[in-house]
Amino acid sequence: MSLTVVGSVAFDALETPFGKRDRVLGGAATHFGLSASFFTEVNAVGVVGGDFTDAEWDVFRRHHINTDDIEVVPDGKTFFWSGRYDYDMNTAQTLDTQLTVFATFAPKISKNSKKAPVVFLANIQPTLQLGVRKQCENAEFVAMDTMNYWISSVKDELLETVKAVDCIIINDAEARQLTDEPNIHKAAKAIMDLGLRAVVIKRGEYGATLFTPTSFFSTPAYPLESVFDPTGAGDTFAGGFMGYIAAQKDINDDTLRRACVYGSVMASFNVEKFGTERVDELDYPEINQRFKDFKRMTHFDDIPFERAVTA
């Protein structure tokens, strides 16, 4: 099955304890699309300015991502974000945000993108997400992301959008804020009660947790000695998760569990270099080997404990 993602395409300036980049390709749709492209055909919907060069387009071309629905505003500038990470790599300090062409982004969805059975609504204004969902009325599985800003500023509109999708992929702080529940298990149940098929809560360096109406599943983060840049890791996780789902015939609990592991696999590669650098150079043997590593890390024998009885 093909997949459509709607979200930002951007330039990032990044600074971490391990290095600095003044201008790299970024954005939610970019990180998601590259990750998902290893599993299925991807249609990207977004907007860029005239400063988006062949070097950036080539990244999409190398991964056979359909960019027909990425609008180009010739006299505009591409969305720009600058951030810095200290040794707590879970938290970014925003230094500069320039929405530019993204400020007036109105997704234009072609017939081809509307036909995709799987759709991901990356972090944009909730009413825009809902509008895309209504245009993709025949989609079999639709997931979304959001952020604390939308939760605090337009919560009612956001909840209406959540009710229209099958799955939400958010971090633990956002889940708590959305539901006013301090416990993520209670928070996930409250979100599930809105009618979703699945809730995925990202927990940064601690992995991710999947909730469905009948099951619970948790995957750890891959143990890495060096994390260079966590920017886009959440979107890369979502790309692996949704890309794997799009490649399957049936979407059941087992599918969703494996999708969580593939999401964690892809996110683990994303943080090893800056921006899209690591995922852009990935190959399938690396992905499959790391998937096997996850299986080995989490496997244990089902041997019940029996206490020895002494006289």
Among the listed ranges 3-17, 83-97, 164-178, 232-246, which one has the minimum average pLDDT value? 83-97
On the question of pLDDT at 292 being above 70, the answer is: yes
Q: What is the mean pLDDT of residues 154-158?
A: 96
Taking only the tens place, the pLDDT of each residue in 2-32 is 999 999 999 999 999 888 999 999 999 999 9
Task: Tell me which fold the domain 3-297 belongs to.
Answer: UDP-N-acetylmuramoyl-L-alanine:D-glutamate ligase (3.40.1190)
| Alpha-carbon gap, residue 205 to 88, rounded angstroms | 10
| Alpha-carbon gap, residue 55 to 248, rounded angstroms | 32
Model-level pTM? 0.95
On the question of pLDDT at 306 being above 90, the answer is: no
On the question of pLDDT at 311 being above 70, the answer is: no
Work out the end-to-end distance of the chain between its first and last CA atoms, rounded to an integer number of angstroms: 64
On the question of pLDDT at 90 being above 90, the answer is: no
Convert 58-95 to b/e letters by CB count within 10 Å (16 or more is b).
ebbeebebbbebbbebeebbbbbbbbebeeebeebeee
Which pLDDT band, with edges at 50, 70 and 90, does 304 fall under?
confident
The domain locations on the chain are: 3-297
Q: Locate tokens 């006299």: which residue?
A: 75
| Alpha-carbon gap, residue 26 to 227, rounded angstroms | 17
What is the structure's pLDDT at 300? 83
Taking only the tens place, the pLDDT of each residue in 202-231 is 988 889 999 999 999 999 999 988 888 999
Question: Residue 35's Cα: distance from chain center in Å?
Answer: 9
